[in-house]
Structure 1
Amino acid sequence: MKDNLLTPVSRRCFLKNSVSLATGLAVAPSLIGAPRILKHYNEPNSVINGVPIGVITYSFRSMPDQSAEATLQYVVDAGISTIELMGGPAESFAGKPESSMDRRTFSRLRRADREGEELTEDQKKELADMQAQVESYNQEVAAWRTKVSMDKFTQLKKMYNDAGVNIYAFKPGAFGIDNSDAEISYGMQAAKALGASHVTLEHPSDDAHTQRLGKLAKKNKMYVGYHGHTQQTPTFWDIALEQSKYNAMNLDIGHYVAAGNPDPLELVKGKHDRIMSMHVKDRESLTNGQKNRVWGEGDTPITDVLQLMRDQKYTFPATVELEYQIPENSDAVREVAKCLEYCRKALE
């Protein structure tokens, strides 16, 4: 694969590069009808034989710049044209308040406390102070979400669309049990402004909350895709699906196999009309250790599922989620591109 990666860029640099490319093409005498060509020139295309191959931008979490502009560059460099966008880049672009707290230290202390590790008095005080900071910050963010304009999300959609990237799902941290109805509606309206058909979140394992989300989804005309890990079973989503037509599935076939379930093909066949998007990764089965593996080395029938989607003309996106350890001589963008190539070989 040809190395075409760029260093993290600012929005100004990204747009400058795009404008420079457009200018060069527009004046090239050999390009008759350049405006029409320009619209699609050098755009990524990850729809393969009718199957949309996307990526969740969480896959680029190891990259140094997590801005919306840099994230877009990672997506384009990987050859992807449709995405599930995490909340961080989009909300930062829209002006979400920033936290100065050291979240790594907070996570480490909270994990140690939860696992019963003995903390020193200084560590206990630090943890308590950080918990108070988190609560205060969450309140600040909640207030921001209830009054922020959708204009920046619309602007972000245009920036991504102009680069040939469509946003089909949005995953901000606004849909939890502790989030207000106003925050939840904000997340759904932001998704709509981004052009998404659905929002995604981890299944809350709380029937009252999925019913609440289903009602708010109906009100906002936005589907909710519930994601699962190794708690997935063939009936995992049934109650939520019965509660509302706006409750849907964000299936993960890698986690599904790692949980010890039967072949996911039957689940996909039986519930394809309720799947909004599907995460793809290669994990070992329960009996083989459950590890995340380079695609093709685990037990997840990725090729079979993709070919089923192609042959049955299922149109929900198959979402690359990069979970295996990135080799030392590579990075997330290169590995996502390899996953896309795996899908291309399976589908062509």
Structure 2
Amino acid sequence: MLAADQTGTCSRRNFLLKGSMAALGALAAPKIFAGSYLQKKPDSKFFGVQIGVITYSFRSMPGTLQEVLQHTVNSGISAVELMGDAVEQFAGCPADKSQMAAWRAAVSMDKFSQVKKMFQQAGIKIYAYKPNALGAGNTDAEIEYAMRAAKALGATAVTVELPKDPQQTARLGKLGEKHKIYVGYHAHTQATDTLWDTALEQSPYNSMNLDCGHYIAVAGHSSASLLALMKKRHDRITSIHLKDRQSAAHGGENLPWGEGDTPISEILTLIKDNKYNIPVTIELEYKVPEGSDAVQEVKKCLAFAKKALGA
């Protein structure tokens, strides 16, 4: 047993040592947040419904990976569909785009694992990854890079625009099966109730990234047909994009939430009541009002969703 003065000396030494180590760790840690590192972690999951955001929504704001992370935290969002550019730049991709295929084929996943950790520390789950590496012109090595990166980021899916060529969806589905990563296909106003059928039949890893706003802007579509499609295909939808668009008859414009024809409240209620495991992705498409910014508008969308869910 130590004498009282020895105990005090050891305690002081331990305190100073721990303080020094903490300071060193703070210097070594990546500077993720500017002035808000210790702020409360966001939580945008209500009654089992995960409200997320696609980081494309912050395209009008500074866009390094750290800045995108900060925008997400400031929006109160705890889950994201992460666009590829900022991630690849963080991972050290070449400025010369002609070198991208070779870089993607060889890049270590260490930086992508670091990105996952950065977002996790901020309280944010990455559920989907959308790099520009999944097209018909990309090599198999690039596509497999996208899937390996998605896994390293903690995502369960990559997302891409639905190809017109069924050979490409078969190709992507096969590689998705190999890596156990879903391929979520996104569509614009070419969407029909049967548009995804071929891809879904080709592989259990082909899935839907259903954009409800684009769907509702198609002539002949209605709130009832959208909800019916969701009920029919809920087990093949890995995420949805939510925006408020007018119907084709009303002009098809993107508007602030609550002003268009997308049945936002009904969509969210359907997911909540049926406990569908479908992340809901805010996609900011309407014009940001003067005096506001993308973060403030995403916060408004989140508040609308929260109220619609009764939270």
TM-score by length of 1: 0.78
Q: 2:208 aligns with which of 249, 267, 273?
A: 249
Q: Secondary structure at the match of 2:241?
A: strand
Moved more, 67-76 or 258-267: 258-267
Alpha-carbon shift at residue 88 of structure 1 (Å): 0.8
Q: Secondary structure at the match of 1:225?
A: strand
Alpha-carbon shift at residue 262 of structure 1 (Å): 3.0
Alpha-carbon shift at residue 12 of structure 1 (Å): 4.5
Letter in 2 for 1:51: V
Q: Do residues 86 (structure 1) and 83 (structure 2) align?
A: yes
Match of 1:288 in 2: 250
In structure 1, C-alpha distance between the alignment counterparts of 2:78 and 2:56, rounded to whole Å: 16
Match of 1:25 in 2: none
Q: Structure 2 unaligned runs (5+)?
A: 1-28
Q: Secondary structure at the match of 1:143?
A: helix
Match of 1:262 in 2: 222
Alpha-carbon shift at residue 14 of structure 1 (Å): 2.9
Match of 1:61 in 2: 59
Map 1:1-348 to 2 at 5 A. 12-14=30-32, 17=35, 21=38, 42-63=40-61, 65-99=62-96, 137=97, 139-260=98-219, 261-263=221-223, 264-348=226-310
Letter in 1 for 2:82: L
Q: Which has the larger radius of gyration?
A: 2
Q: Secondary structure at the match of 1:182?
A: helix
Alpha-carbon shift at residue 339 of structure 1 (Å): 0.2
Q: Secondary structure at the match of 2:93?
A: coil
Letter in 2 for 1:71: V
Q: Structure 1 unaligned runs (5+)?
A: 1-10, 22-40, 100-136
4+ runs deviating over 6 angstroms: none
Letter in 1 for 2:175: L
Alpha-carbon shift at residue 13 of structure 1 (Å): 3.9
- 1:288-334, Cα deviation, whole Å (9 max, x unpaired): 11000111110110110101111111121010000000001100000
Alpha-carbon shift at residue 281 of structure 1 (Å): 0.3
Identity of aligned residues (%): 56
Match of 1:7 in 2: none
Letter in 2 for 1:239: T
Alpha-carbon shift at residue 168 of structure 1 (Å): 0.0
Compute the RMSD of aligned alpha carbons. 1.3
Number of residue pairs aligned between Structure 1 and Structure 2: 279
Q: In 2 relative to 1, CA 16–262 (structure 1 residues): closer, same or farther, beyond 3 Å?
A: closer
Q: Secondary structure at the match of 1:14?
A: coil
Letter in 2 for 1:85: L
Moved more, 257-266 or 209-218: 257-266
Alpha-carbon shift at residue 15 of structure 1 (Å): 5.4
